[in-house]
Structure 1
């Protein structure tokens, strides 16, 4: 057996957490402590510690006499393990916003499309504030950003404020306590609207980011759709090995978006 890189309970926690996030168990019960202890060659005390952490993070819930079930709407408390990493990512995003300049293209109140409504957990047709901006770094276009905010949060935000302060800072100033962010990275081609704003040819490759930011209660407060020039923006991930018997699973330990000179 190869030398463990991290404690056994943490290795098992990482594997189970990944399986939960991937939907391996659906919303049904997880295998029992005895079965998992045999599977991972661990003691029941170790498995109980793993389950305690999953419960603490809001990923699962216990029902006496029935078992441990996946939480269909996981909300991790602000004091739970790992929250510091999520907060540091949001802080890094805000910090990057403060290092760039922004041009506000438009700010309008519109009706939420089904896609926007689903992301913000509101009803289709509900009012939302749509903000379109282009960010620049060292006087060169960096990104085209479209943000949707629930109307109650977006209405107080002015064009002047957007030109001086990142949206997340404005939300914090309005009393929002930021919690977690989830996002998807993909690629897309620049269309006839975005291409001239980012000074790239139509059909040029861009890095696409879709991010949903939630407050500490788990309520979505922002949907961001970003398109970035890949020659001026990078997304770096630090990975740590985890697994039982061998480091055949790599998990994210730190994520950091950054600007490229």
Structure 2
């Protein structure tokens, strides 16, 4: 079956992005793209939305459509799209009660790494917060996260005591549906051992990366230190590619 025009357009733009055809990490405006491809703006608009849904580009209101640098770094990581990817819905609880304890919440100037990961301007501030997740009062994960203040100005400690992503979906009609994560292991630190009840010889799993809104906008950078007993990663690999 022949692909719809907007899908073919999206694939062509994706190919062009992969081969660095667009300067300044920004796509041309929709009118220019429509002229270049000799198609209607509505077809370009649908193609752009598809690329945003895939996380390949993200939209800045009033500024245009920008290429996600993480796509250029690791293209195969952008094949998944789905529902809410928050930890509250992802952690297997086996009937146990999951609770969240807020350890700290501050407004800070982001480091250069955080600014780059969240595509922030030099004058942007972020919420910096640390949470401890527990199952039946047993600690399983320490979460250090950063969210741009301008993205979610109403953030509060009471909101952080529950699933933030579920709140966004239920109250703000915003879905966090993809993440770019690095998964590793490290020796546990003194803080890990104290908060996760680990021995000095026991490791932690590290999940660090960026969570994206369904329009491709980066929402949160988080570094999570997981009790090794709960680190169980599964994936599906297509061997035909």
Question: TM-score, normalised to structure 2's length?
Answer: 0.62
Match of 2:81 in 1: 86
Contact 1:113 1:125 in 2 (8 A): no
Q: 1:27 aligns with which of 17, 20, 24?
A: 20
Gap runs ≥5 in structure 1:
1-16, 30-53, 61-70, 77-82, 244-261
Match of 1:95 in 2: 89
Gap runs ≥5 in structure 2:
1-10, 23-46, 57-65, 72-77
Contact 1:86 1:181 in 2 (8 A): no
Deviation at 1:91, TM superposition (A): 4.3
Between structure 1 and structure 2, the one with the greater Rg is 1
* 1:204–1:167 Cα change, 3 Å: same
CA distance in 1, matches of 2:178, 2:205: 22
Contact 2:210 2:221 in 1 (8 A): yes
Match of 1:158 in 2: 156
Are 2:167 and 1:170 equivalent residues in the alignment?
Answer: yes
* 1:85–1:26 Cα change, 3 Å: closer
Match of 1:73 in 2: 68
CA distance in 2, matches of 1:75, 1:218: 12
Deviation at 1:133, TM superposition (A): 0.5
CA RMSD of aligned residues (A): 3.8
CA distance in 2, matches of 1:116, 1:110: 11
Contact 1:27 1:72 in 2 (8 A): no
Match of 2:229 in 1: 231
Contact 1:87 1:179 in 2 (8 A): yes
Match of 2:133 in 1: 135
Match of 2:115 in 1: 117
Question: TM-score, normalised to structure 1's length?
Answer: 0.58
CA distance in 2, matches of 1:189, 1:126: 33
Deviation at 1:27, TM superposition (A): 2.2
* 1:122–1:103 Cα change, 3 Å: same
* 1:130–1:203 Cα change, 3 Å: farther
Q: How many residues in Structure 1 have an aligned counterpart in Structure 2?
A: 184
Contact 2:165 2:175 in 1 (8 A): no
